[in-house]
């Protein structure tokens, strides 16, 4: 009896079972993709609130962003060394470390380009939050991202998402951004009336006079002592925050916001090209970048750009911020733990978005751009946004949030399945 042949017949099926059970973990089901999107939505809507909180407490944004970018990269490394290394490496789906030595530079460059524009977008919004507010900044940038980025991803993904569902969802985002603009206008008018009622004479753009600014700087008090939504609260906030906004035009903030939105609209399509090679830039036989490897390179470029720009801004600050130094940054422990947490939340949020997008289509994964739902919640809860506002502002705010809820549901319903 041929025991060797019999043993080999038994061994081969067992080997196939073991290898299939140990293959690298990749989200493939529609349900798993939606779970990734929902978790990413919470993470990506929370980290801006933490960054805004630190700026309002007086911490320099350059210091905060340097801390944030460290843990943002750490999150990508953790994802790559865990999910990217689970199971055995196969020629079609190599593990993270195995893929580092492969000739896949065209895809790497696409991933790194995505990291560059995301870093520029995140850095820009850090300043826009101070001028325009957390909620409105997130509404505008998210809507630009959906209108441009989702359309690009739809065609890059070979239309795997259902257009009859996807594009009505994009329309809901457009309605939401219109309502968001109306909320901002109504709330600015409310704040102007509050300041005027308190004896200040705000200009057409909501600023107050130079003489009143000098009187404000001589004042005293703690922001927590003023009730949220009052003129005193707005004035005390201006005294404590790192970025001074009184006396500056809101056009500056809106310009920064729109620039950030364009940057955000490009990073997801670039990542899509990195993982799926729709333009056939890889050599024949070279496997596509797996989502974990692409995310690693994406985060490395994001880290490098953030490091260069923020160290530069320490010595050459923008928007009238005080000059700092690398030594001052190292010694600034006020709020550092929160900044590090923000970096982790953003890093894991981006990773989960890409994991869901690789399974269900990156156009559907743009549903996470409903993150203003989460940011607005934190804005109201932590920063007193819209408190003591007019009934018109509340009606518009409710309409904006309702349209975002509809939009995220519709975009998730458009999910397809990548072959």
Sign for the CA dihedral angle at 214, 215, 219, 224 comes to negative
pLDDT for 214 equals 46
Distance CA 83, CA 390 (A): 49
> Other C-beta atoms within 10 Å of 377: how many?
15
pLDDT digit of tens for each residue in the chain (419 aa)? 443 444 443 333 333 333 334 455 666 666 777 788 788 888 988 998 899 889 988 999 999 999 999 999 999 999 999 888 876 777 777 889 989 888 999 999 999 999 999 999 999 998 988 887 787 788 788 878 877 877 787 777 666 566 777 778 878 878 887 887 788 778 778 877 877 766 665 554 444 444 544 444 344 444 445 666 676 777 777 778 888 876 676 678 888 988 999 999 998 889 889 988 888 899 988 888 988 999 999 999 999 999 999 999 999 998 889 999 999 999 999 999 999 999 999 999 988 888 876 665 565 566 677 777 787 778 777 777 777 788 888 898 888 888 877 877 777 676 555 55
Nearest to 278 by CA among 126, 156, 403, 390: 156
pLDDT for 22 equals 45
Give me the count of residues in the chain.
Answer: 419
| Structural domain boundaries in the chain | 29-87+105-207+227-414
Query: Which two three-digit tokens encode residue 410?
Result: 């519709």
The separation between the first and the last C-alpha atoms of the chain, rounded to the nearest angstrom, is 45
pLDDT for 317 equals 93
pTM: 0.78
Environment class of residue 99 by beta-carbon count within 10 Å: exposed (0-12), middle (13-18) or buried (19+)? buried
pLDDT for 362 equals 60
* Bridge partner list, 23: 88
Q: DSSP letter for 230, please.
A: S
H or E, element range at 175: helix 163-197
114: phi then psi, degrees, rounded to nearest 5 = -60, -40
């Amino acid at each position: 009896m041929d025991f060797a042949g019999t043993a080999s017949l038994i061994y081969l099926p067992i080997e196939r079972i073991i290898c299939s059970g140990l293959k690298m973990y990749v989200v493939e089901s529609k349900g798993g993709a939606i779970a990734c999107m929902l978790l990413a939505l919470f993470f990506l809507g929370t980290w801006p609130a933490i960054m805004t909180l630190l700026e309002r407490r007086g911490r320099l944004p350059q210091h905060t962003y340097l801390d944030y970018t460290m843990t943002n990269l750490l999150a990508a490394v953790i994802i790559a060394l865990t999910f990217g290394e689970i199971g055995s490496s196969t020629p079609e789906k190599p593990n993270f470390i195995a893929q580092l030595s492969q000739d896949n530079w065209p895809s790497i460059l696409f991933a790194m380009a995505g990291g560059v524009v995301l870093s520029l977008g995140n850095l820009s919004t850090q300043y826009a939050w101070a001028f325009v507010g957390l909620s409105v900044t997130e509404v505008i940038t998210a809507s630009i991202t959906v209108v441009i980025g989702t359309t690009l991803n739809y065609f890059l993904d070979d239309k795997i998402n259902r257009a009859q569902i996807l594009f009505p969802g994009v329309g809901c985002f457009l309605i939401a951004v219109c309502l968001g603009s109306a909320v901002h206008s109504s709330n600015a008018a409310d704040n102007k009336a509050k300041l005027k009622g308190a004896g200040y004479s705000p200009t057409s753009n909501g600023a107050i006079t130079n003489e009143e600014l000098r009187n404000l700087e001589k004042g005293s008090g703690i922001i927590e002592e003023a009730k949220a939504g009052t003129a005193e609260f707005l004035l005390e906030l201006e005294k404590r925050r790192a970025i001074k906004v009184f006396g500056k035009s809101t056009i500056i903030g809106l310009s920064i916001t729109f620039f950030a939105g364009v940057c955000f609209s490009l990073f997801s399509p670039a990542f899509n090209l990195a993982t799926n090679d729709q333009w056939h830039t890889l050599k024949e036989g070279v496997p596509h970048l797996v989502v974990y490897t692409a995310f690693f390179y994406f985060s490395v470029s994001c880290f490098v750009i953030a490091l260069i720009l923020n160290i530069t801004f320490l010595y050459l600050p923008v928007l009238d911020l005080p000059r700092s130094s690398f030594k001052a940054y190292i010694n600034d422990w006020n709020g550092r733990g929160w900044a590090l947490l923000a970096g982790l939340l953003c890093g894991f949020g981006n990773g989960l978005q890409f994991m869901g997008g690789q399974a269900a289509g990156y156009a559907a994964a743009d549903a996470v751009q409903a993150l203003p739902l989460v940011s607005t919640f934190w804005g109201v809860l932590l920063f007193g946004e819209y408190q003591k506002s007019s009934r018109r502002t509340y009606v518009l705010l409710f309409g904006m949030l309702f349209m975002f809820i509809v939009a995220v549901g519709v975009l998730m319903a458009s999910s397809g399945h990548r072959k």
